[in-house]
Structure 1
Amino acid sequence: MNEPAHRPKKRWEMPDTYVILFGVLLFAFLLTYLLPSGSFERETVDGVERVVPGTFSFTEAGNVGLMDFFYAIQMGMVESADIIFMVLFTGGAFEIIERSGALRGGIHRAVSLTQGKEFWMIASICTIFALGGAVGAVANAVIAFVVIGIIIARTLKLDPIVAVAITFGANFAGFNVGFINPYTLGIAQDIADLPLFSGLLLRIIVFVLILSVTIFYIWRYTKRILKDPSKSLMNVYEEEETEGLEAPFTRRHKAMLCFIGAGLIFFVYGSIQLGWTINHMAAFFVFLGLSCGVIAGMHYNTIALTFLQGIQKLAYGALVVGLARAIIVMLEEGTVLDTIVYGLAVPLETMPPVLAALGMFGANGVLNFLVNSGSGQAMIAMPMLVPLADMVGVTRQVAVQAFQFGDGLTNIIFPTSGILMASLAVAGVPWTTWARWVFPLFCIWTGIAVVTLTIGVLIGWGPF
């Protein structure tokens, strides 16, 4: 009698990003049954809603059922529609620009001029994006610039991780400190009754330190791939993916790049000075894509099909943003989000100053998983951190920086960050691969944050 053949065991695979987020959503659903419902009172000051400290109270449990679990997914997509469509339209626009060959030709020309000096090219790009994050000029807008990082990575025959690192990663290296960022530091200091952008000197020192560490971390990985492509965590761009990079750089290409450059400058101006929302940014990329198609001399049918093909390439990643948002929807529907915030704040009241400051940092990091908006998190956290800081002997300047670190650092790794997931979608990098690459850098940033906050408490860092 023949023995039954043994089935080969399947090798364990890292879960897909959608599987991970679905699991987190399921955990959030369970929390609505395990945690008591509660809420803070809120007040509107100058048109902005803020939490009123000391007003937390338990409420009746929210009625969350099985259908609400799936309803949260739909509402997450709806509430994230602005970011989702910005990602899709960005993909459509840059697909047209890609097909024209203008961006590839221009970047190839720049790379050829810096051949043998790749470190300085990487360092310069990282510095530009870090400064953009530090002053609040490039935050949500960084999604659009990831495509430029992709072209640079292709030209240097690197991988998509480098493309995200030198744009999105560098941007949030600056955002961590945001020494003159009006959307995080400005709002937090206003709530804390501190002079606007005070504490500038220490923040600039920390900015330079974090940026330097980030540049050398990215360069260490880049240099390893340049020497041996097999060391990449992803496949480096193959020859067929870099075809056309050495195509003729025509006058039409130059005209298109001038138009794109002027357009992107106006894009940043609109996001800062004109108060553009994500919807304005999405509309801009429809305009940019169609205009570039006309400048490139494409047939109108070709423009339409190329735009749709670009959208199709980013559909997988764009919908991840909505699934991440569904987690917050679930916690809000179950009325346990404020309970979690209250639970994070209470233990800090009995801690010594240094530990309290570090606890504020950790609590804001957890809060950023739930409220992934710098200005939104400031409105929730700072009204509670200010009286708490006064009570435990921590200066308000330290409390503000604890909020900034908690908000900024975790943006590069939390899958609930819409900007992270959108940037990864544009580059085609799985979140699991990115998390593996960026985790050591995240730990280094965290160490710098801990040392900075400890020094801040010890020197009584005030508004100077």
Structure 2
Amino acid sequence: MDTPRHLDTAPPVAPSPQKKRLKMPDAYVLLFLVALVCAIATYIVPSGAFDRVTNDEITTTVPGSYHTVERSPVTFVGFFSAIAEGMANAGPIIFLILFTGGAIAVLEQTGAITGMVHSIVNKFRERQFLFILIVAAIFSILGTTGIVVNSVIGFIPLGIIVARALKWDAMLGAAVIYLGTYAGFNSTLLSPSPLGISQTIAELPLFSGIGLRTVIYICFVAATIVYLASYARRLKSDKGSLLGSDWFPSKALVSDTEDSENVVWTGKQKLIILVTALCLAGFLVGTFQLGWGDKEMAGTFILIAIIAGLIGGMGGNGIAKTFIGGCQKLVYGALICGMARCISIILDDGNILDTIVNGLANLLQGHGPIFVSVGMYLVSALLHFLISSGSGESVVLIPILAPLSDLLGVTRQVTVQAVMMGEGVVNCLNPTSGVLMAILAATGIPYTRWLKFMWPLALTWFLIGLASIIVGVLIKWGPF
């Protein structure tokens, strides 16, 4: 007699429940939560304000003028309006990002970028350290002079394209350009903003103290180049990429032709690259001579797209369609800047930013020069998470800290350096930085992975900055 089928079959085993992994919130969700916490704080933190004066179009706080004001908590409507206002205020950088995507798409369509990248790769495939050194050093100069700061976003797509060709991941492709620029900017030598503004407010000679700052700049850039080179070696080892198996999380900045073999770089494509280089050189000259910024660079990318498309034979309709398609790919990365900007708007509308600044400044009184200078360094770093603009932080902090430093035996040059270094060492970790979040959004790099990549270098920068401030106190770095 046959055994019934249901008796000779083993009972099914219930699947074991899988643990749910904690998922990092989307960049927009993260910034929304930060903004929400700030809005709630306007109901808890006492409202206050400093008096302000305007001299030569620079508005600064009046030391000792802090006073309480009527509480003005951010309402439900005000909270969401602040997001819209942040988008409006970030308009220039948003359009810069969008137009960068449009211009890159046109250049890719002509084949000029593919040909150029393969030409570069053929020269540096076996000399990657030299490539990192040259690119990072060039962008550090552009950063430390203030020529390329927010507009570094426009160069990130080229870093991603080169990364694919050199068998790097998106992290290193973005970092060579972004960290190269900000290693220079964070140890600024000749930047009109925020260094020039800070020294003007502190009544110091413009760009004074350049000797020690040059040493700091060299240390920042050298540490950055060594770190990037060590990560490049990691990519070739068993440890691999910090991005895991997906080395290029976002496909928005890459094309399908970058891995093709036997790429021919034609004379027409070389002409396109030459014209592009001349346009960018013209922008750099305009930045230095005429004070051009994000809006002018966005316009430069429109001009590049038109000229490149015409030389490449794309025609008016082809240029427009390709340009708009490129813009669409970077909408996510562009709007993140406005989301980051709304946080400072909420703090201002709620009248609690000055309260926070006043409280931090009061903590420094009654201590020795080294303690005070290091305290200024840490206060500036903490405040930068709320005021992501370097110049914005300077006009708030310097008028308060400069007179305080006179009373506590710290030179004003050290005070300026403490503020510059404080905001600098957290610049590339700050989730409220529109530039950082735009780069991460465009490249698809998760913020948590970027933190894991960035923290060793940020710690190195922090220690260099700490040492420079202590040295400044000991040598009474001046002129005063």
TM-score (norm 2): 0.92
Q: Report what 1:153 is aligned to.
A: 163
Q: CA 1:374–1:254 in 2, change beyond 3 Å: closer, same or farther?
A: same
Residues 269-311 of structure 1 show CA distances to partners (whole Å, capped at 9, x for unaligned) of 2222212232222222222212211111113332222112211
Q: Report what 1:304 is aligned to.
A: 320
Q: Does 1:198 align with 2:214?
A: no
Deviation (angstroms), 1:244:
4.1
5+ residue gaps in structure 2?
1-11, 249-253
Q: Is the 8 A contact 2:340 2:434 kept in 1?
A: yes
The one of 463, 471, 474 aligned to 1:447: 463
SS, match of residue 184 in structure 1:
helix
Q: Report what 1:285 is aligned to.
A: 301
Q: Whose Rg is larger?
A: 2
Q: Report what 1:422 is aligned to.
A: 438
Q: Distance in 2 between matches of 1:114 and 1:64?
A: 54
Q: Distance in 2 between matches of 1:271 and 1:338?
A: 32
Q: Report what 1:11 is aligned to.
A: 21
Q: CA 1:191–1:441 in 2, change beyond 3 Å: closer, same or farther?
A: same
Q: Is the 8 A contact 1:101 1:247 kept in 2?
A: no
Q: CA 1:4–1:218 in 2, change beyond 3 Å: closer, same or farther?
A: closer
Q: Does 1:22 align with 2:32?
A: yes
Q: Distance in 1 between matches of 2:15 and 2:274?
A: 66
Q: Report what 2:339 is aligned to.
A: 323
Q: Is the 8 A contact 2:280 2:300 kept in 1?
A: no
The one of 68, 72, 75 aligned to 1:62: 72
Deviation (angstroms), 1:393:
0.7
Q: Report what 2:108 is aligned to.
A: 98
Q: Distance in 2 between matches of 1:190 and 1:212?
A: 29
SS, match of residue 385 in structure 2:
helix
Q: Distance in 2 between matches of 1:125 and 1:191?
A: 34
Deviation (angstroms), 1:4:
9.2
Q: Report what 1:247 is aligned to.
A: 263
Segments of 4+ moved more than 4 angstroms: 2-7, 237-241
Deviation (angstroms), 1:125:
0.6
The one of 63, 74, 79 aligned to 2:89: 79
Q: Is the 8 A contact 2:241 2:247 kept in 1?
A: no
The one of 120, 124, 130 aligned to 1:110: 120
Q: Distance in 2 between matches of 1:14 and 1:337?
A: 28
Q: Report what 1:214 is aligned to.
A: 224
Q: CA 1:265–1:352 in 2, change beyond 3 Å: closer, same or farther?
A: same
Q: Does 1:166 align with 2:193?
A: no
Identity among equivalent positions (%) equals 41
Residues 205-239 of structure 1 show CA distances to partners (whole Å, capped at 9, x for unaligned) of 11111111111111111111134584342523599
Q: CA 1:194–1:354 in 2, change beyond 3 Å: closer, same or farther?
A: same
SS, match of residue 213 in structure 1:
helix
Q: Is the 8 A contact 2:96 2:294 kept in 1?
A: yes
Moved more, 401-410 or 256-265: 401-410
Q: Report what 1:413 is aligned to.
A: 429
SS, match of residue 242 in structure 1:
coil
Query: Over aligned residue pairs, what C-alpha RMSD do you find?
Result: 2.2
Q: Is the 8 A contact 1:76 1:323 kept in 2?
A: yes
> More helix per residue: 1 or 2?
1
Moved more, 327-336 or 275-284: 275-284
Moved more, 424-433 or 365-374: 424-433
Aligned residues: 464
Q: Is the 8 A contact 1:136 1:183 kept in 2?
A: yes
SS, match of residue 50 in structure 1:
strand
Q: Does 1:272 align with 2:272?
A: no
Q: Report what 1:335 is aligned to.
A: 351
Q: Report what 2:247 is aligned to.
A: 236
Q: Is the 8 A contact 1:349 1:391 kept in 2?
A: no
Partner amino acid for 1:290? I
Q: Report what 1:349 is aligned to.
A: 365
Q: Is the 8 A contact 2:243 2:445 kept in 1?
A: no
Q: Report what 2:98 is aligned to.
A: 88
Deviation (angstroms), 1:66:
2.0
Partner amino acid for 1:305? K
Residues 237-267 of structure 1 show CA distances to partners (whole Å, capped at 9, x for unaligned) of 5995633474210011110010010011111
Deviation (angstroms), 1:195:
2.0
Q: Distance in 2 between matches of 1:359 and 1:36?
A: 23
Deviation (angstroms), 1:413:
1.0
Q: Distance in 1 between matches of 2:237 and 2:20?
A: 33
Residues 97-141 of structure 1 show CA distances to partners (whole Å, capped at 9, x for unaligned) of 122221221122122122311101111111111111112221122
Q: Report what 1:388 is aligned to.
A: 404
Q: CA 1:36–1:232 in 2, change beyond 3 Å: closer, same or farther?
A: closer
Residues 369-418 of structure 1 show CA distances to partners (whole Å, capped at 9, x for unaligned) of 22222222222211111101111111111101101112222211102112
Deviation (angstroms), 1:439:
1.3
TM-score (norm 1): 0.95
Partner amino acid for 2:370? V
Partner amino acid for 1:126? A
